[in-house]
Amino acid sequence: MAFAVDLRRRVVSEALGTAFLLATVVGSGIMGERLCGGNVAIALLANALATGSSLAALILTFAPISGAHFNPVVTVANAIRGDHPWREVPLYVTGQTLGAFVGVAASHVMFGQPVFSVSHHSRSGIGQVFSEFVATFGLLAVIWSCSRTRASAVPFAVGSYIAAAYWFTASTSFANPAVTAARAFTNTFAGIRPADTPAFIFAQLIGAAVATVALGWLFTAPSGKEP
């Protein structure tokens, strides 16, 4: 919890990092769809590799400043575990959410689209919602364990996990409420209909909660204390 810089700078760091994350997700989706000649697998491959690579670089860049959560459920889970002060959570989440929208807008400007556009991309059904539960559970498990046992590997682990989760979940793994909200406002490859976002965010919250309980149990030593 000892950060070298003040809260204002850390919130800007979260916003900036989340903006680049969304610019990657949305921008690489647009580029992929434009160039793939209708073969969606190639677009998704580019989308997944770009997001995983970018995420690793962004965590390396912004973690020394603000922890590089880029994700409200990560910030909240850290607070529950006592690894982040609760009083900072609202500003962290605000920074992440604003940053996410800035990132969407930035990618739209880069690719000559309207600054925002409401998505018509339907992502609903039990498979999609269960996918978000699985994706978020896994993401939180990766972060929880690596951040305690080998913090230097977190950027690589999270980037690798997300690149894989694009493919092994039916929803392409949003796993992040701020990202989900912002992706409702891009009518491109990475978009999601606003009507489908509540179920996604609900599943993400449940996935994070279950992960927090499960990993807490897994990491309990016989003495009852965390090893």
Query: Which position among 79, 89, 170, 209 is part of the footprint of a copy of itself (CB under 8 A)?
Result: 170
Distance CA 21, CA 58 (A): 8
Smallest distance, Å, CB 220 to a copy of itself?
7
Smallest distance, Å, CB 205 to a copy of itself?
18
**53 binds a copy of itself per the rule CB under 8 A:** yes
Query: How many binding residues for a copy of itself (CB under 8 A)?
Result: 89
**192 binds a copy of itself per the rule CB under 8 A:** no
Q: Are 113 and 188 in contact (CB under 8 A)?
A: yes
Q: Are 196 and 122 in contact (CB under 8 A)?
A: yes
Closer of 9 and 120 to a copy of itself (Cβ): 9
CA distance to 9, 129, 193, 200, per residue, from 205 (Å): 27, 11, 19, 9
Smallest distance, Å, CB 84 to a copy of itself?
19
Sign of the Cα torsion 216, 151, 101, 98 reads: positive
**28 binds a copy of itself per the rule CB under 8 A:** yes
Closer of 42 and 80 to a copy of itself (Cβ): 42
Q: Are 21 and 96 in contact (CB under 8 A)?
A: no
Q: 134: number of CA atoms within 13 Å, CB side?
A: 17
Considering only residues 126 through 145, tell me which ones interact with a copy of itself, judged by CB under 8 A: 126-127, 130-131, 134, 138, 141-142, 145
Compute the residue count for the chain.
227
**178 binds a copy of itself per the rule CB under 8 A:** no
Q: Are 214 and 141 in contact (CB under 8 A)?
A: yes
Query: Which position among 164, 205, 206, 210 is part of the footprint of a copy of itself (CB under 8 A)?
Result: 164
Query: Which position among 70, 92, 101, 166 is part of the footprint of a copy of itself (CB under 8 A)?
Result: 166
Considering only residues 63 through 122, tell me which ones interact with a copy of itself, judged by CB under 8 A: 64-65, 106-107, 109-112
**146 binds a copy of itself per the rule CB under 8 A:** yes
76-96 in b/e burial notation, b at 16+ Cβ within 10 A? bbbbbeeebeeebbeebbebb
